Structure 1
Amino acid sequence: MENGGAFAANLLGFGRMLRRAGLPLGPGEMLAGAEALTRIDLGDRRQAEAALRATLVHRREHFEIFDQAFALFWRDRSVPTETMEGDLGDTAAPAARRVSEAAGANATSAPPQTERRVDAALTVSTGEQLRKMDFEAMGAEEIAAAKREIRRLTLPLDARPTRRFRPDALGRRTDLRATLKQSLRQGGEVLEIRHASRVSRPPPLVAICDISGSMARYAQILLHFLHAVTNDRDRVSTFLFGTRLTNITRQLRHRDAEVAFQMVSHIVPDWSGGTRIGEALDHFNRDWSRRVLGQGAVVLLITDGLERGGADELARLAAATDRLRHSCRRLIWLNPLLRYAGFQPKSQGIRTMLPLVHEHRPVHNIESLRSLVETLSAPQARGRASRE
């Protein structure tokens, strides 16, 4: 191939454009795409598009982004760039805007301007707008800025007293055992009364996140929050579910976020598929609850509650949710559907779960995550958790 070097450079540029549009591409995908192009007729545009689509795209929600990016990047050079971008911008779909922004960021003539736009995303006025923007409506640059903002969030849970005690000269509890032990060293004379105080520590945190088709976009961003929390504190467990339950706690402990998410993608087979909330919660209660829900654990259940099963599945969902509520100190349901001002619990799954959780909160933007952090960090009254 005479122009092999130029073609390889164009393929790399196309890969950079897809990454800026939000597709998780690595060297392996790019090598597979280059290998696939050697086995087809490059003169046939449809074959080239099908080969790259098969090797570079792994999730159904990325198909639309890829198709629009391919049409824009490998366009007819006789058509002005402004015309192509204008055609993409006319559509209301967020994917079109992400591709258009990625195309602008991919242009070699404007790297300084791209850098200035990223910096401006964290200014006071633009940052306020970013924190209130729905994750679903974000473009490529806004998603990148949101991920950076999320990584700055910390989650210092309200410390709870445990059954353990530690030596403390100012403690209110008299430590008879330590006092007697010390007296034996003094010939049996009690010369000093030892004291102890109760040990307090934050409770375990367990996140159970829905990754079905209706939740995939939110789950991708919330995983960055869960990764930051996992690496900021101990005793954090994370589970994903669609049609089955997967424990990804070990993978999220990797310090590098991209490596962690790559490891997660290899063990989660049902991303953006169907959802079986009742079955997943039943599986968690049966196999994992006794391992991770000790010492007053806090559970974050992240789902839209759209259970599509019949009466048997709804009964199973009710039983599993009720058991989960009684197994933890605080069950918080994070629902992106609460972003709508006129939200009404019309779905059978939502109506089944709503009376069985302690709190029902929105999780659709950075502001809602900040509110969640403040709520979990604030001291809570002892006893039964309150419902909001």
Structure 2
Amino acid sequence: MTDDAPAGRLTLNLMHFARALRAAGLPVGPGKVLQAVEAVEAVGLSNRTDFYWALHAIFVNRHDQSELFDQAFHVFWRNPDILKKMMSLMLPKARTEAPPDRPEMAQRLAEALHGSGAEQEEPEKTEIELDASFTVSAAERLQDKDFEKMTGEEMAQAKRLLARLALPLAEVTTRRYRSDPMGPRVDPRATLRRMLRSGGELSDLARKRRRTRPPPLVVLCDISGSMTRYSRMLLHFMHAVTNDRDRVYSFVFGTRLTNITRHLRHKDVDVALDAVSGAVADWSGGTRIGTALHAFNRTWARRVLGQGAVVLLITDGLDRDAGEGLAAEAERLHKSCRRLVWLNPLLRWEGFAPKSSGIRALLPHVDDFLAAHSLNSLADLAGVLSAHGPRRSPGLRRWLKEAAG
């Protein structure tokens, strides 16, 4: 890379590089392209490291975007070894399941840099009739697919589905009443008003019943390093839930607790997540679940857990402090809410066992223990929350026995 590179070609390449980053999932707009051109003009092209960090400062807003930017930079700006590796990901073009050792982020990056095939010339299509009675549609496969294994296109489809996801909560009875001709209680005031309107003549008794409304929803989401692969999709889920109903309070935690309720109320999900990234300082770091729950119980519990709130705790239970103080804080949280639901991505593994000290400390104090790794798992959550049943699910007993054993 030298200073005598044609400026026009450099600007064009920066534009194509920004387009590739946007296709790979980074929030890049025209304004950032102009800023990148100004930054490159300021640092020059004599030093590759300065060029790298100038673009990094412009295009990377969150810690979890750094790895994707690094791969894209070395591929786009002519690193032969990585380019050869990325090109190998594109051959063959058959739609097969990625092998376990293949990085999913690299797969999405390859699609962004080389195109998904939509812009290429399509060969002549021959009509072939197939019997699809025993096949599974792409939409059905996407519902069951692990977030970690999704390509860039599949992640975009999943985010659109999450935006339409409804999370109904079983309504709870309040202290207020509403008029109802078939209500179980007599409404004396309404009855007297009715008699006054009729000149004091006797009339039918007015009746009333208690109002019902969905309880508040509180979401506590782990954004530590072990949850990085799922935190982005789960934040989209939290944004959809926040904009679908009132009285939703959202928090994220790694080594500390951060309230992101106000940020997620923005209707535009990209703007909302950019605001969240600016407010959170501990992305992809360690996990101190007990410390985070202590901060929530001390500072926020009385503010947001009134009127029988339901709490969603999203974490894998891998605690940096080995579960120190976690049981006491989880017990206090459980006693302060109507229902405590734990969503754990590790439940996607068939051989999962509650052996971690953090998991063993949390399990006795939750009402439901569910997976959170796919669209179907989040849809199952909706079914659990909308059902009128016992506070503790029967399936939790199995996990408690394994943890005790």
Q: TM-score range by the shorter chain?
A: 0.7 to 0.9
Matching residue of 1:356: 365
> Which residue of 2 is the match for residue 120 of structure 1?
none
Counterpart residue identity of residue 365, structure 2: L
Q: After TM superposition, give the deviation of residue 130 of structure 1 in Å.
A: 1.2
- Counterpart in the other structure of 1:234: 246
TM-score normalised by the chain length of structure 2? 0.83
Aligned to 1:207: 219
Partner of 1:144: 156
Aligned to 1:386: 393
Can you list the C-alpha shifts for 1:270-329, whole angstroms capped at 9, x where unaligned? 12122211111111111111121122211100011111115xxx3421111001111111
| Alpha-carbon separation, structure 2, partners of 1:265 and 1:83 | 33
2:11 to 5, 8, 13: 8
8 Å Cα contact 1:210-1:241 kept in structure 2: yes
Q: Give the Cα–Cα distance (whole angstroms) in 1 for the partners of residues 369 and 81 of structure 2.
A: 50
Contact residue 210 and residue 240 of structure 1 kept, 8 A = yes
Which amino acid in structure 2 is aligned with residue 280 of structure 1? A
Corresponding position: 1:158 with 2:167? no
**Residue number among 326, 329, 341 corresponding to 2:335 in the alignment:** 326
Specify which of 56, 61, 65 is matched with residue 62 of structure 1: 65
C-alpha deviation, 1:181, in angstroms: 4.8
What amino acid does structure 1 have at the position aligned with 2:106? Answer: A
Amino acid at match of 2:144: K
Deviations 1:329-376 (A, max 9, x none): 110000011111100111111111011111110000111011111211
The answer for the alignment partner of 2:321 in structure 1 is 309
Confirm or deny: 8 A CA contact 1:173 1:195 kept in the other structure: yes
Per the TM alignment, residue 57 of structure 1 is displaced from its structure 2 partner at its CA by 2.6
Deviation at 1:191, TM superposition (A): 3.0
Change (3 A) 1:246 1:82: closer
SS of 1:232's partner is coil
Partner of residue 93, structure 1: 103
**Partners of 1:270 and 1:363 in 2: how far apart?**
22
Q: Secondary structure at the match of 2:137?
A: helix
| Partner of residue 97, structure 2 | none
* Cα deviation, residue 18, structure 1: 1.3
Taking the aligned partners of 1:226 and 1:111, their CA distance within structure 2 comes to 39
Determine helix, strand or coil for the equivalent of 1:38. Answer: helix
**What SS does the aligned partner of 2:311 have?**
strand
Contact map agreement 2:71 2:106 (CA 8 A) in 1: yes
Query: What amino acid is aligned across from residue 385 of structure 1 in structure 2?
Result: R
Query: Secondary structure of 2:358's match?
Result: helix
Post-superposition Cα deviations, 1:96-134, rounded to whole Å, max 9, x if no partner, equal 211111112288953989xxxxxxxxx961111111111
Secondary structure of the residue aligned to 1:215 is helix
Question: Which amino acid is the alignment partner of residue 19 of structure 1?
Answer: R
**One-letter amino acid of the counterpart of residue 72, structure 1:** V
What is the aligned counterpart of 1:373 among 355, 360, 382? 382
CA contact 1:17–1:106 (8 Å) conserved in 2 = no
- Cα gap change, 1:49/1:202 in structure 2, threshold over 3 Å: closer, same or farther? same
CA-based RMSD = 2.8
Whole-angstrom distance in 1 between the partners of 2:254 and 2:179:
47
Rounded to whole Å, the distance in 1 between the matches of 2:46 and 2:117 is 25
C-alpha displacement at 1:182, in angstroms?
Answer: 4.3
CA distance in 2, matches of 1:82, 1:239: 39
> In structure 2, the residue corresponding to 1:99 is in which secondary structure?
helix
Pick one of 130, 139, 146 that aligns with 1:134.
146
CA distance in 2, matches of 1:187, 1:72: 87
Mapped contact 2:75–2:83 kept (Cα < 8 A): no
Q: Percent identity?
A: 52
Answer whether contact 2:171 2:215 (CA < 8 A) is retained. Answer: yes
Structure 2 letter corresponding to 1:369: L
Query: How far apart, in 1, do the equivalents of 2:122 and 2:335 lie?
Result: 55
More moved, 12-21 vs 85-94 = 85-94
After superposition, the Cα gap between the structure-2 partners of 1:42 and 1:197, relative to the gap in structure 1 and judged at 3 Å, is: same
| Consecutive unaligned residues in structure 1, runs of 5 or more | 114-122
Q: Does 1:39 align with 2:48?
A: no
